[in-house]
Amino acid sequence: MLLVEELDTRDRHTVRQGEANGRLPVGFFADWYKTRGRSFPWRGEDISPFGMLLAEVLLKQTRAEMVASVWPALSRKYPDAASLESASPEELYHDIACLGFGRQRVTGLRQLSAAITGAGHIPSQPADLMEFPYVGIYSAHAVACFAFGHRVPVVDLSIVRVLSRLVGIEPASDIRRAPQVWEIAQTLLPDREVKEHNYGLLDFAADMCKARSPRCDECPVALSCAHATHLVTAPGQINKTGDL
């Protein structure tokens, strides 16, 4: 890993994408997930592609803990697109109203289910998944990785934050306009345990590399992080007052 002294000799805001790998121990995020990862019902090994899509739609602008309280019952009641499409709007609204954005979600879920039944299947590639209504670039990659096991990066705004801080670039405010971060995420993908890696990256962002008051003083890769080294006041000592 790069040391603070090495980082001090370069412009931290022009770190090359390829250096991201050198800043992290091999398998760091997969190991993070195994030891400190969060547990959600849609992270099981036997989750169907439709169950994962259902989770992703419900997770939009909603805390995962809230979705976890309703997703198991919903996934049993609506195990596939046909069962959800046949539900009345009123019944579906009653099932998900507690999450907020009820009418918007009902419309989105019904449109998505109709598109899936019309297509006859759920495709496994991100580009094909994005042809469906209510499926954006993050959800498409999440389903491709977590439901189908494809070796693809998964990038939301929290991951934009982590990887931008790691290599010292300005974070984008829209994942669709963050090509450099997507490229960095691609270079970090391991050959094995891709799901664990991507889940670990999401969980590391939620637990350690927070938007406000990141826990740089506790971070195991702080000395290899361009953002954290700006907060270093002495070798091995982190300035806890820094907050970006």
State pTM to two decimals. 0.85
How does pLDDT run across 199-229, given as a tens digit for each residue?
Answer: 999 999 999 999 999 999 999 999 999 999 8
Ramachandran class of 213: left when φ > 0, alpha when ψ lies in -120 to 50, beta otherwise: left
The CATH fold of domain 48-146: Endonuclease III; domain 1 (1.10.340)
Residue with tokens 């001090």, as numbered in its chain? 8
Residue 230's pLDDT band (boundaries 50, 70, 90)? confident
CATH T-level topology, domain 4-39+152-238: Endonuclease Iii, domain 2 (1.10.1670)
- Residues 121-141 have pLDDT tens digits of 999 999 999 999 999 999 999
Which residues, 6 or more positions from 243, have their beta carbon under 8 angstroms from its beta carbon? 212, 213, 214
Q: Whole-angstrom Cα distance, residue 152 to residue 185?
A: 9
Question: What is the model's pLDDT at position 22?
Answer: 67
Average pLDDT value for residue range 35-40: 97
Predicted pLDDT at 213: 92
DSSP 68-90: HHHHHHHHHH--SHHHHHTS-HH
Buried b (16+ CB within 10 A) or exposed e, 74-83: bbeebebbee
The SS3 of residue 233 is strand
Read off the DSSP letter of residue 38: -
Residue 23, pLDDT score: 76
Question: Which amino acid, 97?
Answer: A
The alpha carbon torsion through 190, 191, 195, 196 (nearest 10 deg) reads -60
pLDDT above 90 coverage of the chain, percent: 80
Domain boundaries, the chain: 4-39+152-238, 48-146
Over residues 92-120, mean pLDDT: 97
